[in-house]
Structure 1
């Protein structure tokens, strides 16, 4: 009897190993998209792997189109106290395109939060980060810093936050203020306090916004929050709970009276994104997706089509045409034992059809501390991973979405429309003129300049703009967004898309608060 039990147990183990090997093979090698160049216009393609001066754990697009990254040293070891990198995409992917500089502010900005400020000076706000106590890392920092893009240097802010924060989220409000929420205070405690950087350069708190349920122990890690109508902020917790903050009442928080199993549980490293004003696509446990529409009186939560297993530490990126690009992740949270279960397959989601299309595989595994972000040329920068991890990736890949290729299956890049003239500044509901060079325009879109880390895109958003043909050939009359919650002040990519669905290279435009 004992021998029979041992045989049965051995069979179970062999079966589990077989399942694991099959899952690994499927996730890494098949069924991989076939067709090569003949399907670039359907699936897109990745360029070659390019070396990076550090592991890009954090990335933010500057107002001049350059990209600041930080998070490790030159060897990919944890720590943002040593250096940071500024990459100029116009100079290519070689070392001459990088300006790697020392961090002289005394703050380890590893696992901080950052966002490009909506003022016209192009500064980046960085809050919190890592602190070493008695030789032990991963304590929280209360420090506030600024990156001055004009001087290419980090600068200390004269005050500190009321709470130390590690893994905080930032959100630009319609007023131009930036809200800071979540994060760990120390290794055993969290904070429900909410603080704010005001557009006049001062710092303060929102005492009415305190909520342990929304931002405390259950939802402290880079909490997911978005602007909602009626001067509100919407929070979707990993527990499935939902909250509204009334910014007209000092940020007062109310719990949404809906069963939390409607949204389902998530994980702090499962991605979500606002793909249209007030509409969110979110990944939940079990490989499921949901959409959440927050434009009504109550959130409208619905299951979305498709499943995608092994997406812990994946990224979602809104593209120039409003589709969503999903890449990276694994079956377990960055465990070296489960490294074989990493997911190199990519997917594209269409808001119009609600369907998923299989994309090409990443050339490198993108797990914990990887990033993905849209660039002004309508490609996607994806890279990093590690510190710690089963693989330290001091490298990036550029993804070229399907809209950049001719539809004839040749695999050749399509001719792109061009924006010849555009204003540098606009404001809500303003009319402005574009001068374009194109055979025909079908859409004009606005995408927020990206700031990403840990599967989160701070302020990431997309909107179609109303437009009409001008009196002269090649001239378009554009209407800026009317509602501040649909497009808060700040820097945006402005794209024109031709009748074949091909986007231009973006013009950076500053949407100024009225």
Structure 2
């Protein structure tokens, strides 16, 4: 595998893989919570921030970032370092705030339902709803899929049509194993990073560590449907396996974190705790810029949660720690107290959503983070707790809540009625091949408008385990696509004692309460937008539609689904727009809708407009926001 050049003006992390593999490292259950008595007085003092049993029993001493040696061997001062599992240093001498245990979530009176509708053709690791209304599925190199390409090789990507439930194969040139992604301002779907080539499986797919891939689709050009991924040849500044990505207000792309080689993240040399910025067309500046939050939280530094705030800064969360970060100035604006509970990001990822934005909350919504786990092993307990915080509030602090059981790999998807559905995952174990069990099958519904203690209800129950490498995302018709689960290094089709959970190609649709039962007949219809080229500048556009009889309330949602992978929904956000001209009870409606005030609130790219009447959405329509 080729090394990566950091480029001018930045540091130059270099990948140095020992082998090419389709697997990934497992940190395992820590074997010791502390070093032997007296070791602090005699052990070697770290020179690079690594410590503990796997690092020659080095201690942290006066290491600038903190004197606690974490369970996986990094020095620091956060609760991740000084809490349970600390090997040496001032362990547990500070206050550790407990997280709440499980809370009841009564059955929703209208729980919705799951239905298997199709087949993905390929294992689903990454996904996104494209501007043509179809869903792009993207996976790593596998020794088996259900689709083949014209060259006779298996396909590792596909395009699924939710209207017909048909799927077609797509080709790509570099291995997208654990990539990140977003949409470019021109509507193209972007996937960045990945892993090395697997020539023994497919010699036609090359090294993807620095890969940059584009998929172009359009709501008004059907000739693009089914076309393969495009890789122009430009690369990331350094190797990134497990990066997170966010489109910025000016259209540039913020690419954060990753591994240099896919090897043990408890070893400093394997990690890439930096960020880089791509142009609006996806070309890197060539600079790898160190990021303190990532450095401090190794090995839990990959796939951080990120949300763009209304001031143009970024909320970034990894492990248990978070901050507001100014990308343009490369500066930390504000740090927050650690979120109580277990680890929340890879390899014990929970899920995170930015709750709905509106003028009523000054486009300043809460961030919500749920689930997680204690360590990367099948014996790990999972965390039922959730934290909710308004990062821009003067007195910002975590408000704690909890789900009815612990969940790792749980993902939150915003719904156009303003609620959130939480799906997938497991009650025990962690991310990685074969290290999760006790799948969590119930949909959980969260209503952020309700008072604390009354926000959760239980929705319908699926019969399909959705473990490692599963996805959930909202479709144009307001239902939620749920697919994936490939918790094995290479596909397994028949369960056995070693692999009780196999590769699952089935595509389900979850129908939420707002479209179940009698609500199915209450959709707004005949929606016509005056323009599908919209600007985030406070300008207006018209919407005509037919409302059901007796309609009382209308909302118009501007929705960005983003890039979905590993229970991380990159860029995901929704805005309720101001509406004038609504006439309660009238069948024919003509309203004027006001766009968000700027691109901090709605960064450029493809969005879906949903007209929602009395909580029931019409079929959405794609628009381009600039």
Using structure 2 for the length normalisation, give the TM-score.
0.68
SS in 2 for 1:42: coil
Match for residue 10 of structure 1?
none
CA separation of 1:74 and 1:466: change in aligned 2, threshold 3 A? farther
CA RMSD of aligned residues (A): 3.1
- CA displacement, residues 162-221 of structure 1 (integer Å, 9 cap, x when unaligned): 1101111110111111111111112142112211221255321566x5214336634432
Aligned partner of 2:267 in structure 1 is none
Match of 1:214 in 2: 294
Residues 145-173 of structure 1 show CA distances to partners (whole Å, capped at 9, x for unaligned) of 21233261212233211110111111011
**Cα deviation code 1:412-468 (max 9, x no counterpart):** 722310253112111121111001111334211121133200001011111211001
Q: Secondary structure at the match of 2:461?
A: coil
1:224 to 305, 309, 312: 305
Q: Which of 602, 610, 624 pairs up with 1:487?
A: 602
Q: Which residue number corresponds to residue 6 of structure 1?
A: none
Residue 361 (structure 1) shift: 1.0
What are the Cα deviations for residues 60-103 of structure 1, in whole angstroms up to 9, with x where unaligned? 111121111021548359x9984311112222x2xxx2121333
Q: Does 1:421 align with 2:559?
A: no
Structure-1 residue corresponding to 2:621: 507
Aligned counterparts of 2:287 and 2:462: Cα–Cα separation in 1: 42
The DSSP-based 3-state class of the residue aligned with 1:466 is strand
Residue in structure 2 matching 1:275, options 336, 355, 371: 355
- 2:579 and 2:201 map into 1 onto residues whose CA distance is 56
Whole-Å separation in 2 of the counterparts to 1:198 and 1:335: 33
The correspondence for 1:99, drawn from 168, 174, 177, is: 168
Counterpart CA distance in 2 for 1:136 and 1:253 is 44
Contact 2:300 2:345 in 1 (8 A): no
- Contact 1:173–1:488 at 8 Å: present in 2 too? yes
Q: Secondary structure at 1:493's aligned position in 2?
A: strand
1:152-171 to 2 correspondences below 5 Å: 152-171=227-246
**Equivalent residues of 1:172, 1:459 under 8 A apart:** yes
Q: Is the 8 A contact 1:404 1:413 kept in 2?
A: yes
1:23 equivalent in structure 2: none
1:436 aligns with 2:545: yes
- Residue 554 of structure 2 corresponds to residue 467 of structure 1: no
Distance 1:394 1:44, change over 3 A: same
Alpha carbons of structure 1 residues 226 and 419: separation in structure 2 relative to 1, 3 Å: farther
Q: Quote the residue 2:361 is aligned against.
A: none
1:51-90 equivalence runs, <5 A: 51-71=119-139, 73=142, 75-76=144-145, 82-90=155-163
Give the unaligned 5+ runs of structure 2: 1-101, 218-223, 265-269, 358-364, 373-382, 489-498
How far did residue 234 of structure 1 move? Answer: 1.0
Could you report, residue by residue, the CA deviation over 1:262-296 in whole angstroms, capped at 9, with x for unpaired residues?
Answer: 57642422111112233111114531011021232
Tell whether 2:110 aligns with 1:42.
yes
Deviation at 1:338, TM superposition (A): 7.0
The one of 214, 217, 221 aligned to 1:146 = 214
Assess if the C-alpha contact under 8 Å between 2:122 and 2:155 holds in 1. no
Distance 1:212 1:417 in 2: 49
**CA–CA separation in structure 2 for the residues paired with 1:435 and 1:378:** 19
Q: Where does structure 1 lack aligned partners over 5 or more consecutive residues? A: 1-26
Q: Is 2:106–2:457's contact at 8 Å kept on the other side of the alignment? A: no
Contact 2:474 2:480 in 1 (8 A): yes
* Shift in CA distance, 449/69, structure 1 to aligned 2, threshold 3 Å: same
Cα distance, 1:335–1:181 mapped onto 2, change above 3 Å: closer
Deviations 1:33-86 (A, max 9, x none): 98xxxx7x6211111353220111110111121111021548359x99843111
How far off is 1:333 after superposition?
Answer: 1.8
Larger CA deviation: 475-484 vs 42-51: 42-51
User: Whole-Å Cα distance in 1 between the matches of residues 580 and 418 of structure 2?
Assistant: 20
Q: Tell me which residue corresponds to 1:18.
A: none
Question: d(CA) in 2 for partners of 1:179 and 1:335?
Answer: 26
The answer as to whether partners of 2:119 and 2:167 remain within 8 angstroms in 1 is: no
1:175 aligned residue: 250
Change (3 A) 1:33 1:233: closer
| Match 1:245 to one of 315, 320, 325 | 325
Superposed, which structure 2 residues align to 1:278-289 within 5 Å? 278-285=365-372, 286-289=383-386
| Residues 467, 477 of structure 1: 8 Å contact kept | yes
2-structure distance, mates of 1:200, 1:335: 33
Query: Aligned residue for 1:321?
Result: 417
Deviation track 1:85-137 (CA, whole Å, cap 9, x = no partner) reads 1112222x2xxx2121333x2x0112111222122xx3221111120479699
Contact 2:127 2:137 in 1 (8 A): yes
After superposition, give the CA deviation of every residue in 1:299-356 in whole Å (9 maximum; x if it has no partner). Answer: 432112x334341112211111121111111111258887651111221000111510
Which among 123, 126, 129 is matched to residue 188 of structure 2?
123
For residues 320-469 of structure 1, the aligned pairs below 5 Å read 320-330=416-426, 331-333=428-430, 341-353=438-450, 354=452, 355-388=455-488, 390-407=501-518, 413-422=520-529, 423-428=531-536, 429-439=538-548, 440=551, 441-469=553-581
Aligned to 1:12: none
* Conserved? CA contact 2:533–2:624, under 8 Å: yes
